[in-house]
Chain A
Amino acid sequence: MRHIIAVLLENEAGALSRVAGLFSARGYNIESLTVAPTDDPTLSRMTLVTTGSEEIVEQIKKQLNKLIDTVKLLDLSDGPHIEREMMMVKVRAERPDREELKRLADIFRAKIIDVTDTSYVIELTGASKKLDAFIDAVPEGLLIEVVRSGPTGITRGEKGLTL
């Protein structure tokens, strides 16, 4: 099963490689991993997506918690949560396709953020599945480049993953 796990880490050199090293050393799957500092500059927040049986995911969480740099951890999949991923897509947008690509962007509530005579860069935010759907919807042969941030997530309701 797919799990999305949020981790608050000490914002120290090497913290990210401890996490990455843990996954490779113990042979755990890792689908995506994003990390950035938080409003508290001493903390980084990492969101990682992994898959595995319940036993393996349980062990992944224990091993992450065991890292000295891990301050707090939450498996967002345990409760209601919101997931967002950002994507930028560069598409070939020549005269016959320009209108259709613009319409497609509107349908997905995406934004065109760069325009040339022959291309668009389209920005789109949403759940990972929505981003997949957009890519599928782009007519064949027009995709030039896809850049995805990997998902981040937050719980619903007033409780937050903070110190």
Chain B
Amino acid sequence: MKTTTDDTGAVLSGAEIVVQALCDEGVELVFGYPGGSVLHIYDALFKHGGMRHILVRHEQGAAHAADGYARATGKCGVCLVTSGPGATNAVTGIATAYMDSIPLVVLTGQVPTPVIGSDAFQEVDTVGITRPCVKHNFLVKDVRDLAVTIRKAFHIATTGRPGPVVIDIPKDVTDPSIKIPYYYPRDIQLRSYNPIAKGHPGQIKKAVELMLQATRPIFYIGGGVILGEGSTSLIELVRSSGFPLTSTLMGLGAFPASDRQFIGMLGMHGTYEANMAMHDTDVLIAIGARFDDRVTGRIADFCPHAKIIHIDVDPSSISKNVRVDVPIVGQVASVLADLTQLYQERRTEAQNLTEWWVKIDGWRQLNCLEYDRTSALIKPQFAIETLHQVTNGDLYLTSDVGQHQMFAAQFYPFDKPRRWINSGGLGTMGFGLPAAVGVQLAFPNAPVACVSGEASILMCIQELATCKQYNLPIKILLLNNGYMGMVRQWQELFYESRYSHSYVDALPDFVKLAESFGHVGMRVTQPADLAPALQEAFALQDRLVFLDVVVDPTANVYPMIAAGKGQHEMHLAPGMAERELA
């Protein structure tokens, strides 16, 4: 290999190329954990000195932190892990990002090329293991391919429908003694990958005509609106149309929850009004949403009277689960801008939706999220409402997975996109704390909280050490009910209260645990003490505060559509059914 100097640039080793390429890509943070196969890269990081590296305590945490960073900023998250267990530990985080279409570039070390396939120490087939849970992956066998592969990876991860991309780099490819001229390509063309940006004008016209004829229209939006930076255009379209809007778990915040046109989340734990409106609608406008089973319920009963318009950047999302009438493939922001313009041109007068809104307001009056506010125990719903009140609704809130996640989605109204950060598709317990690490590093001065349960938090509890090392003043709101709450709820409802292994016996003392990591721990047991405790926690602007909040262990998430039921067959909270309005 030649090591002569190129007039136009530096001569670098593979390890140096990795670091320089990340700098040239504009990467601010790398989340990682060193190990044998990436030692050359770590040495190059040390010598370079200009790239900020965050040392996590487990590779799953690296992937979740990079993911949280990406969700909050809209930029690509980056992590660096070693071969073998480093890569396999990251897989849960990669799959989490894949299911929610989050742009990540994951650099994994690999054993040297001559020993690949020999079952060498810390060898796994990373490209094979990650193939089903990445947008794309690469194995770089030649240092001359390294820079261009890194550029390709960022291009693929961040364009079209975003997703994680893995680059597997054998140790000999980063050999510090082999240096080559470095060149980082700015623009890249891939003949096999050209995501569609503009929506088809004919399809947009058809969509507008359907919208204008609608008498019971509804917008159904998903995470794609946030990922595609479509929030501003969406707000304009929704306000000018006057149509109601419902959002998936992943779309919360894309449209302000405090707006009257927002009728709540839909799906399994969505609001009564959102699901009933979906069932009765005549024109459904789905935007950046993928008709997930948690949203549709039984497909045969999904929006039975509706013509369906579906805007999505991924053609394979269209008519995958539900046949649609007007598909529009394109970037959400671009399609919405075109659609809004045409809609406003064509519409001669405001559409008469009075009857439709009367119906929706009738469902709304049921107040399906009502809970017992007189309880002597802290209700989890009350805890989230109090968090909302204390933080004035202005928070980056990450979540783990389970009841607390649903309560947060129901009781913390988000008015801005990228504020609600949770694992929707994969449902990864342990996501919340490391994700909050990524968010707090992206926005050091913003209030960041993680709502969790005592079962979820223990799955990545080691990241409390990362928080200490980088002084991250995250507030953890632990809704401690002693159970895996969502499992317990399903066992109560569908397994005649046989609570098989869902009681978490032998919990740690979370206050002492937080203190042992160098943080502040608080325990709250009385409803009246919660707001003052939260105020105190948020006042400690330079400390992580771990609030162990003892909540009612019997609380269930309502309303609920049981798995396999139609969207109109909602279970309301016990005692509420008799109040149901016809």
Binding site for B on A (CB under 8 A): 10, 13-14, 17-18, 21, 25, 55, 58-59, 62-63, 65-66, 68-71, 163
- Are A10 and B139 in touch, CB under 8 angstroms? no
B377 lies within 8 A of chain A by Cβ: no
- Are A68 and B316 in touch, CB under 8 angstroms? no
Q: Which residue of B lies closest to A70 (CB)?
A: B192
B362 lies within 8 A of chain A by Cβ: no
User: B395 contacts which chain A residues (CB < 8 A)?
Assistant: none
| Contact indicator per residue, chain B 131-175, by CB within 8 Å of chain A (1) or not (0) | 110011101000000000000000010000000000000000000
B367 lies within 8 A of chain A by Cβ: no
- Are B156 and A68 in touch, CB under 8 angstroms? yes
Most chain B beta-carbon neighbours within 10 Å: one of A14, A17, A55, A70: A14
A70 to B192, CA, bound (A): 6
- Are B136 and A17 in touch, CB under 8 angstroms? no
- Are A65 and B315 in touch, CB under 8 angstroms? yes
User: A163 contacts which chain B residues (CB < 8 A)?
Assistant: 191
Q: List 26 A-B contacts (CB under 8 A).
A: A10-B192, A13-B139, A14-B131, A14-B137, A14-B139, A17-B131, A18-B131, A21-B132, A25-B132, A55-B319, A59-B320, A62-B316, A62-B318, A62-B320, A63-B316, A65-B316, A66-B316, A68-B135, A68-B136, A68-B190, A68-B193, A69-B192, A70-B192, A71-B191, A71-B192, A163-B191
CB distance from A45 to the nearest CB of B (A): 14
Q: Which residue of B lies closest to A25 (CB)?
A: B132
User: B415 contacts which chain A residues (CB < 8 A)?
Assistant: none
A71 to B190, CA, bound (A): 9
- Are B127 and A14 in touch, CB under 8 angstroms? yes
Most chain A beta-carbon neighbours within 10 Å: one of B136, B192, B316: B192
A163 to B191, CA, bound (A): 9
- Are B128 and A17 in touch, CB under 8 angstroms? yes
A63-B316, A68-B135 given; name 9 further pairs at CB < 8 Å.
Answer: A10-B192, A13-B139, A17-B128, A21-B132, A55-B323, A59-B320, A62-B315, A68-B136, A163-B191
CB distance from B314 to the nearest CB of A (A): 7
Q: Name the one of B139, B190, B192, B319 contacting A58, with C-beta atoms under 8 angstroms.
A: B319
User: A14 contacts which chain B residues (CB < 8 A)?
Assistant: 127, 131, 137, 139
Most chain B beta-carbon neighbours within 10 Å: one of A17, A65, A66: A66
A-B complex: 9 closest residue pairs judged by Cβ atoms: A62-B316, A68-B136, A71-B192, A25-B132, A66-B316, A68-B193, A62-B315, A63-B316, A21-B131
Question: Given A55-B319, A62-B316, A63-B316, is A68 in contact with B192 using a C-beta cutoff of 8 Å?
Answer: yes
| Contact indicator per residue, chain B 331-342, by CB within 8 Å of chain A (1) or not (0) | 000000000000
CB distance from B329 to the nearest CB of A (A): 10
A152 to B517, CA, bound (A): 63
Binding site for A on B (CB under 8 A): 127-128, 131-132, 135-137, 139, 156, 190-193, 314-316, 318-320, 323
User: B318 contacts which chain A residues (CB < 8 A)?
Assistant: 62
CB distance from A98 to the nearest CB of B (A): 47
User: A17 contacts which chain B residues (CB < 8 A)?
Assistant: 128, 131
A62 to B321, CA, bound (A): 13
User: A69 contacts which chain B residues (CB < 8 A)?
Assistant: 192
User: A70 contacts which chain B residues (CB < 8 A)?
Assistant: 192
A62 to B314, CA, bound (A): 9
User: B192 contacts which chain A residues (CB < 8 A)?
Assistant: 10, 68-71
CB distance from A17 to the nearest CB of B (A): 7
User: A10 contacts which chain B residues (CB < 8 A)?
Assistant: 192
CB distance from A19 to the nearest CB of B (A): 11
CB distance from B479 to the nearest CB of A (A): 35
Q: Which residue of B lies closest to A60 (CB)?
A: B316
User: A63 contacts which chain B residues (CB < 8 A)?
Assistant: 316
A69 to B131, CA, bound (A): 13
CB distance from B176 to the nearest CB of A (A): 26
CB distance from B131 to the nearest CB of A (A): 5
A25 to B192, CA, bound (A): 22
User: A62 contacts which chain B residues (CB < 8 A)?
Assistant: 315-316, 318, 320
Q: Which residue of A lies closest to B192 (CB)?
A: A71
Q: Name the one of B139, B315, B319 contacting A66, with C-beta atoms under 8 angstroms.
A: B315
A59 to B156, CA, bound (A): 22
A66 to B312, CA, bound (A): 14
CB distance from A158 to the nearest CB of B (A): 23
Most chain A beta-carbon neighbours within 10 Å: one of B156, B316, B320: B316
User: A71 contacts which chain B residues (CB < 8 A)?
Assistant: 191-192
A13 to B138, CA, bound (A): 9
CB distance from B256 to the nearest CB of A (A): 33
Q: Which residue of A lies closest to B190 (CB)?
A: A68
A20 to B132, CA, bound (A): 11
Q: Which residue of B lies closest to A68 (CB)?
A: B136
A63 to B128, CA, bound (A): 18
CB distance from A23 to the nearest CB of B (A): 11
CB distance from A81 to the nearest CB of B (A): 23
CB distance from A153 to the nearest CB of B (A): 21
Q: Which residue of B lies closest to A26 (CB)?
A: B132
A63 to B131, CA, bound (A): 14
CB distance from A57 to the nearest CB of B (A): 12
Q: Which residue of B lies closest to A58 (CB)?
A: B319
A10 to B193, CA, bound (A): 11
A66 to B128, CA, bound (A): 18
A66 to B127, CA, bound (A): 18
User: B135 contacts which chain A residues (CB < 8 A)?
Assistant: 68
User: B314 contacts which chain A residues (CB < 8 A)?
Assistant: 66
- Are B191 and A59 in touch, CB under 8 angstroms? no
User: A58 contacts which chain B residues (CB < 8 A)?
Assistant: 319
A71 to B314, CA, bound (A): 16
CB distance from A39 to the nearest CB of B (A): 16
CB distance from A40 to the nearest CB of B (A): 11
CB distance from A116 to the nearest CB of B (A): 39
A63 to B132, CA, bound (A): 12
